[in-house]
Amino acid sequence: MHAWTAPEVPGLPVAGPSVQVHDTATGGLVTVAPHDGPARMYVCGITPYDATHLGHAATYIAFDLLNRAWRAAGHDVAYVQNVTDVDDPLLERATKVGVDWVALAERETELFRQDMAALRVIPPDHFVGAVESISLVVDLVQRLDAAGSVYRVDDDLYFSVTADDAFGEISGWDRDQMLAVFGDRGGDPERPGKKDPLDCVLWRAERPGEPAWDSALGRGRPGWHVECTAIALQYLGSTFDVQGGGSDLVFPHHEMCASEAQVAEPGHRFARAYVHAGMVGYDGEKMSKSRGNLVFVSALRNSDIDPAAIRLALLRHHYRDDWEWTDAELWAAVDTLADWRRALALGAGAPAGPVVSAVLEALADDLDAPTALEAVDSWVAATLGQDGLADTSDPDAATTVYRLLDASLGLAL
Ligand code: 5CA
Ligand code: ZN
């Protein structure tokens, strides 16, 4: 499917440093850089039944920082994102509100595109729906079957997690931890007939009233995890640099994706790094569609909030932290942007070189946007505040800082 309109990304006067991010699988910082060709990134996309709340926005902006840090370091980037446009939660919502599931998915996906464009998130090169990927999923399930890792419960097909010796290495969790969340995150640990409670559905046979497609696996629809595995393998190859998403995807989603891929492509690690954004909360709980405690990007946009202020408010938090959205932080961001625009309107200002280095270094160091923003705050304070700037004033400072904010932070002022 089509993505959204790409923002302009201006060039920078200097190249950024090589980029390090926190890898969940190893628990430490790793350098992420292309091995041959572009840097390759897969970020798990939305399930389009209730588009873009601020938690989604924070996660996609985090990976947008990585995209921009890679570009600043001189790399080309190949970026793929899926849309889970057929899955249980989407079908349940469509039934509940009495709309056609296809229409619901299309409407919410379109809203997501508009939100991402407004927030100046660089679009993926491939924005791929599950429905349009059914043949990829069927092929992959057949390969997994040939590798002996698929079995049947009634007419549903399951992946045997014991087929991958490395199962568990992404989350690092023990079985009790896995079992504690599996049922709440799309799994069915209690289903009779499974070989291991943690095994996951690859192909779900048709149920009355549910959509289904004819295939060599019988009539049915894809399971969730295998959708991302199939799309990533197709568009990025057997090994790529980063798989990303929110921390709610560490287990089972990214664990299952990795195991399925590693059974289908023996000897290849799926992603070199697994990068996870913290959860944004609101009113004391994780912001989630099932809890209904949502603040929508589109609602803020419809109230004439500058999307750059939304983006700035989100960037004030490190992407790995769990934190709570408050309206006060949004209003603070609105005020900050007014100050920044005043400083930039002066043209000349405090020397730009140090703020360029500080921002690029902070972002290359595990996407540390809060530190980058502090460097900008200091430049703004120095530019607005000082008498005696004349001696050190940089006549082109504003031009450089504009470009810096736009290219590396996605803030086009
Ligand atoms: N379609 C699947 C991924 S394949 C899915 O998780 N969809 S989602 O719509 O539920 O979430 C989309 C992305 O937003 C995921 O990366 C998810 O981890 C992230 N996300 C969801 N809720 C939050 C939240 N409260 N804070 C931060 N990120 C969130
Ligand atoms: Zn996914």
What interhelical angle do 353-364 and 369-385 show, nearest 10? 170
Q: What average pLDDT score do residues 104-112 get?
A: 97
Residue pair 178/251 in contact (Cβ under 8 Å)? The answer is yes
Residue pair 65/363 in contact (Cβ under 8 Å)? The answer is yes
Residues with Cβ within 8 Å of 366's Cβ and at least 6 positions away in sequence, in order, are 20, 21, 22, 29, 320
290 pLDDT more than 60: yes
Share of the chain above pLDDT 70, in %: 98
Which residue lies with its CA nearest to atom 3 of ligand 1?
44
pLDDT in tens, 119-149: 999 999 999 999 999 999 999 999 999 999 9
Residue 369, ligand 1, Cβ within 6 A = no
CB atoms within 10 A of CB 391: 6
Q: What average pLDDT score do residues 240-263 get?
A: 98
Domain presence at residue 239: yes
Which residue lies with its CA nearest to atom 5 of ligand 1?
46
Residue 84 CA to ligand 1 center (angstroms) comes to 11
Domain presence at residue 6: no
Q: For 365, list phi and psi in degrees, rounded to 5.
A: -100, 80
Per-residue pLDDT at 143? 98
Measured CA angle at 294 (ends 325, 2), to 5 deg: 105
Residue 93, ligand 1, Cβ within 6 A = no
DSSP-derived secondary structure letter, 86: S
Band of residue 291 on the pLDDT scale cut at 50, 70, 90:
confident
Domain presence at residue 60: yes
| Rounded Cα distance, 83 and 77, in Å | 20
CA-closest candidate to residue 317, choices 71, 119, 54, 113 = 54
Domains: count for the chain: 1
- Name the closest ligand to CA 46: 1
What's the CATH code of the domain at 124?
3.40.50.620
Residue 45, ligand 1, Cβ within 6 A = yes
Domain presence at residue 117: yes
Per-residue pLDDT at 283? 81
Band of residue 292 on the pLDDT scale cut at 50, 70, 90:
confident
Per-residue pLDDT at 309? 98
273 pLDDT more than 60: yes
389 pLDDT more than 80: no
Q: Which of 24, 41, 43, 46 best tests ligand 1's pocket when mutated (most atoms within 8 Å of CB)? A: 46
Q: What average pLDDT score do residues 399-408 get?
A: 98
Domain that holds residue 228: 20-282
Residues with Cβ within 8 Å of 339's Cβ and at least 6 positions away in sequence, in order, are 380, 384
Domain presence at residue 93: yes
How high does pLDDT run on average in the chain? 96
| Rounded Cα distance, 184 and 180, in Å | 8
Domain presence at residue 193: yes
Domain presence at residue 366: no
pLDDT in tens, 153-200: 999 999 999 999 999 999 999 999 999 999 999 999 999 999 999 999
Q: What average pLDDT score do residues 378-398 get?
A: 81
Residue 34 CA to ligand 2 center (angstroms) comes to 22
Q: Is the pTM of this model over 0.95?
A: yes
Domain presence at residue 151: yes
Band of residue 50 on the pLDDT scale cut at 50, 70, 90:
confident
Helix-strand-coil percent breakdown of the chain, rounded to 5? 45, 15, 40
Residue 378 CA to ligand 1 center (angstroms) comes to 34
Residue 59 CA to ligand 1 center (angstroms) comes to 8
